[in-house]
């Protein structure tokens, strides 16, 4: 099975270098593509110097647009599985094989790496307060609309089979897309589940989840969900 | 029911004629496309008719149940303004989606081009 690791990155020069060095041991198993979301720093050059293909976006599209570009690349290059992996290095590549198992066996269409699942709750990972509040809100909204309890709605550590990433290559939410993407999967009758993973803290750079974005997040989630519900399931 | 006073009518007509001329100027200088100018021109002409014609303004007064022509015209203009803004938001959203698709396509083609260029350079160096 051909597996592609999609790494969206925006001004992640230091974290990306460390991540790509770490990924060298997996290069025989997985292909990698970095989506440079119009970074002002040397993010694209770092990827190139590590012999990793780079998709350079001419203008910043945000995480949703960047990840979707990776899905389009995966479709055009005939991959079987796509794995989203943040460029800030918070997602430990050692967990990729755990994400892949339920997909490779045909059990699931999408698997999400969760920091907050049951007994395996990742106590080492310190979630910023505002992000946690936003996550509780989106978990509740997702539960009300789908009946599924997803503990880590904002996790960008996901593996998808061809059917599901081809679906997202055609349509994918833009800002804070993770929770909305799950609702879209549910509506289109894709199977998805969470598995517990451990994540690491960001070592350098700043999170894009700022105070302003955190305060807007609940309304943004509500409006986004409303739009998806009104549009109905997509083919 | 009160119709517009001569003073209000004069000021209103003057301002809307100015706005109309400015729209034509934008159209002429190609800064506004005919497609986008259409709704504005219709709105400006409708407002001019309401300013000039007592019959038209009284019809609107009766339609919305206002006390006077100025309030009725103001209400109508507000609703029209909100509709135009909504129309513009739809156009912005559509353009945004198109721009995103073009941007993504450019990135994908750029990567493909680099790959092809690299393979040509490799093939060329083998030939030599």
pLDDT score at A208: 59
Cβ contacts (< 8 Å) between B103 and chain A: which residues? 57-59, 61, 65
DSSP state of A119: G
- The count of other CB atoms within 10 Å of the CB of residue B100 is 20
Confidence of residue B93 (pLDDT cuts 50, 70, 90): very high
Does the distance separating the beta carbons of A55 and B110 come in below 8 Å? yes
- Residues contacting A152, CB < 8 A, separation 6+: A112, A113, A114, A115, A116, A117, A135, A194
- Cβ-Cβ contacts under 8 Å between A and B: the total is 37
pLDDT above 80 (res B105)? yes
Sign of the dihedral through C-alpha A113, A119, A124, A128: positive
Cβ contacts (< 8 Å) between B92 and chain A: which residues? none
Kindly report the average pLDDT of chain B as a whole number: 91
In angstroms, the CA B27 to CA A146 distance is 50
Residues 64-123 of B with CB under 8 A from A: 99-100, 103-104, 106-108, 110-111, 115
Min Cα separation B128/chain A (Å): 25
| Residue A99 DSSP SS3 | helix
Find, among B103, B68, B74, the residue nearest to A36 by Cα. Answer: B103
Range of the domain at A221: 3-231
- The count of other CB atoms within 10 Å of the CB of residue B94 is 10
Whether the CB-CB separation of B60 and B73 falls below 8 Å is answered with: yes
Query: Which of A33, A69, A174 shows the shortest C-beta gap to B104?
Result: A69
Find, among B107, B112, B97, B91, the residue nearest to A170 by Cα. Answer: B97
Min Cα separation B121/chain A (Å): 16
| Residue A130 DSSP SS3 | helix
Consecutive 10-residue averages of pLDDT for chain A (235 residues): 96 93 92 96 95 96 96 98 93 94 96 83 65 82 90 93 97 87 94 90 63 76 87 79
Q: CA of B104: which chain A residue's CA is closest?
A: A69
Q: How far is CA A2 from the centre of its chain?
A: 19
Min Cα separation A107/chain B (Å): 31
- Residues contacting A134, CB < 8 A, separation 6+: A154, A209, A214, A217, A218, A221
**Which of B90, B99, B100 is best to mutate for the A interface (most A CBs within 10 A)?**
B100
Find, among A85, A127, A102, the residue nearest to A194 by Cα. Answer: A102
pLDDT score at A118: 66
Mean pLDDT of B29-55: 90
Distances A197 to A90, A181, B74 between C-alpha atoms, Å: 11, 20, 60
Which CATH number belongs to the domain containing residue A137 in this structure? 3.90.550.10
pLDDT score at A233: 80
Whether the CB-CB separation of A79 and A70 falls below 8 Å is answered with: no
DSSP assignment string, A24-44? GGGTTTEEEEEEE-S-SSSHH
Does the distance separating the beta carbons of B107 and A65 come in below 8 Å? no
Confidence of residue B3 (pLDDT cuts 50, 70, 90): confident
pLDDT score at B39: 85
Whether the CB-CB separation of A153 and A142 falls below 8 Å is answered with: yes
Does the distance separating the beta carbons of B103 and A72 come in below 8 Å? no
In angstroms, the CA B79 to CA B72 distance is 11
Residue A65's Cβ-side half-sphere holds a number of Cα atoms within 13 Å equal to: 24
pLDDT score at B124: 85
In angstroms, the CA A18 to CA A92 distance is 11
Does the distance separating the beta carbons of A35 and B107 come in below 8 Å? yes
When divided into structural domains, chain A yields a total of: 1
Cβ contacts (< 8 Å) between A54 and chain B: which residues? 111
Min Cα separation A44/chain B (Å): 12
Q: CA of B114: which chain A residue's CA is closest?
A: A53
* Domain range list for chain B: 6-127
Confidence of residue B111 (pLDDT cuts 50, 70, 90): very high
Min Cα separation B79/chain A (Å): 23
Does the distance separating the beta carbons of B103 and A59 come in below 8 Å? yes
């Amino acid at each position: 099975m051909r597996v592609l690791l999609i790494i969206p990155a925006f001004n992640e020069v230091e974290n990306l270098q460390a991540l790509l060095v770490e990924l060298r041991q997996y290069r025989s198993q997985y292909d990698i593509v970095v989506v440079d979301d119009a970074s002002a720093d040397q993010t694209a050059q770092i990827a190139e110097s590590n012999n990793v293909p780079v998709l350079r976006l001419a203008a910043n599209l945000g995480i949703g647009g960047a990840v979707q570009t990776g899905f389009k690349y995966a479709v055009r290059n005939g991959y079987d599985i796509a794995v989203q992996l943040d460029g800030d290095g918070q997602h430990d590549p050692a967990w990729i094989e755990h994400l892949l198992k339920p997909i490779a066996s045909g059990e699931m269409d999408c698997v999400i790496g969760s920091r907050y699942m049951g007994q395996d709750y990742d106590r080492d990972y310190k979630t910023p307060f505002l992000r946690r509040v936003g996550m509780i809100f989106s978990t509740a909204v997702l539960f009300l609309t789908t009946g599924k309890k997803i503990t880590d709605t904002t996790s960008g550590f996901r593996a998808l089979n061809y059917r599901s990433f081809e679906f997202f290559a055609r349509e994918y939410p833009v800002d804070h897309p993770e929770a909305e993407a799950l609702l879209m999967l549910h509506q289109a009758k894709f199977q998805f589940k969470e598995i517990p993973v451990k994540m690491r803290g960001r070592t350098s750079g700043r999170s894009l989840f700022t105070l302003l974005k955190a305060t807007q997040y609940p309304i943004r989630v509500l409006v986004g969900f409303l739009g998806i519900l009104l549009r109905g399931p997509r083919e | 029911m009160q119709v517009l006073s001569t003073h209000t009518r004069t000021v209103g007509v003057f301002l809307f004629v100015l706005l109309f001329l400015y729209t034509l100027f934008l159209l002429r200088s190609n800064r506004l496309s005919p497609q986008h100018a259409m709704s504005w021109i219709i709105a400006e002409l409708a407002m001019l008719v309401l300013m000039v014609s007592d019959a038209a303004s009284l019809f609107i007064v009766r339609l919305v149940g206002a006390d006077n022509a100025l309030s009725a015209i103001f209400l109508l203009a507000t609703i029209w303004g909100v509709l135009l803004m909504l129309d513009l938001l739809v156009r912005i959203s559509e353009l945004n989606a198109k721009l995103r698709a073009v941007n993504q396509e450019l990135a994908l083609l750029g990567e493909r081009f680099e790959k092809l260029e690299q393979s040509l350079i490799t093939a060329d160096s083998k030939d030599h």
